[in-house]
Amino acid sequence: MGKFQIMNYFCALMYEPISNEQLIDIANEFGTPVYVYHAEKIAEQYNKLTDAFKEHPTKFFYACKALTNINILKYVRSLGGLLDCVSINEVKLGLLAGFTPDQILFTPNCVDFAEILEGVEAGVRINIDSISILEQFGNKFGNSYPVCIRINPHIVAGGNYKISTGHIDSKFGISIHQLRHIERIVKTTGLHVQGLHMHTGSEIKDIEVFLQGLDVMFGIAEKFEGLDFIDLGSGFKVAYKEDDKETDVKTLGRRVAEAAKKFEQEYNKVLEIWFEPGKYLVSECGSFVVKANIIKQTTATVFVGVNSGFNHLIRPMFYESYHRISNISNPTGPERIYTVVGNICETDTFAWDRVLNEVSEGDLIVFHNAGAYGFEMSSNFNSRLKPAEVLVKDGKAQLIRKADVFNDLLRNQVI
């Protein structure tokens, strides 16, 4: 562990959560809605992983599709993390953030071959997930540019089918049943296969899913000489509710080390194990602060209508995801049952029958665990403006993205 990583490790151990008072101050300074991220929480999560997998050479590539603000990318790099990208523009952001090409893994899906060529021109690591692209790549580059191959292991995993990516109907990866086709392409074109990759989904609580996948990958690895790594993707679960459990990364780290060392005795080479945590690193660091616009009672429920909607936080409507919600303006008030909804002209229910401390119009409401796929999936639907982003580091709040203004809606429109 380097000097700066040691400093970050101890800072993370000593960090204090962002208080309600500080969130209120941030909302007053930058307005609402506003996304607030806590740097030291990211460090804590990163250090949990590095500690859990210390028994075997392991690398962690931050899946930046979870949150691509360049300040977050720079901070992850300062911790010692690497970068996983799914588009060429994420690659470009990573390079601007200071990552070197060899620290970036590029895993696009269903893209034009021209985008793959841009990745090669940038010098980053290429991960290929279709037979068509693999064949085009092999014919063009032969063994002159090493690649990783993404396999679909046909393992169903994750919180629901929408976030499971390793099942038989998934568009991701090359089916394990097409292994002979992969072998023929590699042999014919002379491709240098440097690594093998799989990713089965998100919200994986059962560590046996990872170990099952690892066993599948070991079976495939026997077909390829000279591999350097096996990438197990991610899917580490974070806690959303009070009684939720995270993926037991400590036990997983020990079990992965045991399995890898056993396989390596037969393979006659130590293989690095790679992971691509995204949500695990940044989900819990994020707080999304909104204002209660209106309290609306109907014959069925009491609505809290806030100054946001699924244009800013789509996960509850898209994935039926749960976010803990707090009234930070009245944290000790009597508890009431509310339905929390947004202000856009669509059904945009954040939560039904949620117990909150009594809410009055003008109160500030916080959605917790909002760091991953919150701002990143936001839009200007209904011509609403995107919110600001703020990073709290060493107790100080720093604006890392300005809130939209009206002219941002007109940018690129031809008038």
Residues identified as active-site: 345
> CB of 146 within 8 A of CB of 193?
yes
The set of residues, in sequence order, having a beta carbon less than 8 Å from that of 42 and lying 6+ positions away, is: 72, 75, 76, 79, 281, 282, 285
CA-closest candidate to residue 50, choices 273, 229, 260, 232: 273
> CB of 207 within 8 A of CB of 254?
no
Can you tell me the distance from the alpha carbon of 282 to that of 60, in angstroms, rounded to the nearest whole number?
Answer: 14
Can you tell me the distance from the alpha carbon of 90 to that of 111, in angstroms, rounded to the nearest whole number?
Answer: 14
The set of residues, in sequence order, having a beta carbon less than 8 Å from that of 333 and lying 6+ positions away, is: 327, 357, 358
Can you tell me the distance from the alpha carbon of 301 to that of 262, in angstroms, rounded to the nearest whole number?
Answer: 58
The structure tokens listed for 101 are 């090409």
Helices (H) and strands (E) in the chain, counts: 13, 18
CA-closest candidate to residue 190, choices 227, 135, 148, 150: 135
Can you tell me the distance from the alpha carbon of 161 to that of 144, in angstroms, rounded to the nearest whole number?
Answer: 38
> CB of 336 within 8 A of CB of 360?
no
Q: Give whole-number Cα distances, 161 to 108, 256, 279, 357, in Å.
A: 21, 26, 17, 34
> CB of 237 within 8 A of CB of 246?
yes
What does residue 163 show for φ and ψ, rounded to 5 degrees?
A: -110, 10
